[in-house]
Amino acid sequence: MSHPALVFTDDSFARALADSARGPQRDGAFALWLVVRAALGAAPPATPPARQAERLRALAARIKSLNAPAPLRRSLAAAIADLGAPRAVPAGVVLSQLAAPAAECLGRPAAEAVQAAARAARPGPRSG
């Protein structure tokens, strides 16, 4: 089952990729999109921990091959580490921390897409 926020997120990043020129900005948008998708995959209902760890290792290797702007690259590496930590930081928090570097490096639309994904990744009110 995929996360409900993926449709909006995928549409937003597809537009960002289409609007960006080749080079660091496009690589940065693509890298950010991959990390957002990984974070949403870690949000409830979560992927099994072993599978999530495998995905995060593959993601980290892929991000290293991209030429994203340095501030964004550092933030993405930190986000991947937070998602894979033994006591993983909640996906909503990780995504919220990516909004500022996304705005700085890629512009406001990318930051808004990340913030929307962060809101969607936070657990809703519990019914009891």
Q: What is the pLDDT of residue 1?
A: 42
Q: Kindly report, residue by residue over 99-128, the tens digit of the pLDDT.
A: 999 999 988 888 988 998 898 887 765 444
Q: What is the pLDDT of residue 126?
A: 42
Closest CA to 119 of 89, 96, 90: 96
Asked, for residue 128, whether it belongs to a domain, the answer is no
Between 4 and 63, the higher pLDDT residue: 63
Asked, for residue 103, whether it belongs to a domain, the answer is yes
Asked, for residue 17, whether it belongs to a domain, the answer is yes
Closest CA to 98 of 123, 116, 84, 122: 116
Q: What is the pLDDT of residue 45?
A: 60
Q: Kindly report, residue by residue over 44-65, the tens digit of the pLDDT.
A: 666 677 788 888 999 999 999 9
> What percent of the chain is predicted at pLDDT more than 70?
85
Q: Kindly report, residue by residue over 15-47, the tens digit of the pLDDT.
A: 777 777 788 988 999 999 999 988 887 766 666
**CA-to-CA distance for 58 and 103, rounded, in angstroms?**
25
Judge whether 54 and 62 are in contact, CB under 8 Å: no
Asked, for residue 126, whether it belongs to a domain, the answer is no
Asked, for residue 63, whether it belongs to a domain, the answer is yes
Q: Kindly report, residue by residue over 72-105, the tens digit of the pLDDT.
A: 999 999 999 999 888 878 888 999 999 999 999 9
Asked, for residue 26, whether it belongs to a domain, the answer is yes
Residue 108 structural domain: 6-121
Asked, for residue 10, whether it belongs to a domain, the answer is yes
Please count the structural domains in the chain: 1
Closest CA to 3 of 46, 33, 35, 32: 46
Q: Render the burial of 36-58: b for 16+ CB within 10 Å, e for the rest.
A: bbbbbbbbeeeeeeeebeebbee
Asked, for residue 127, whether it belongs to a domain, the answer is no
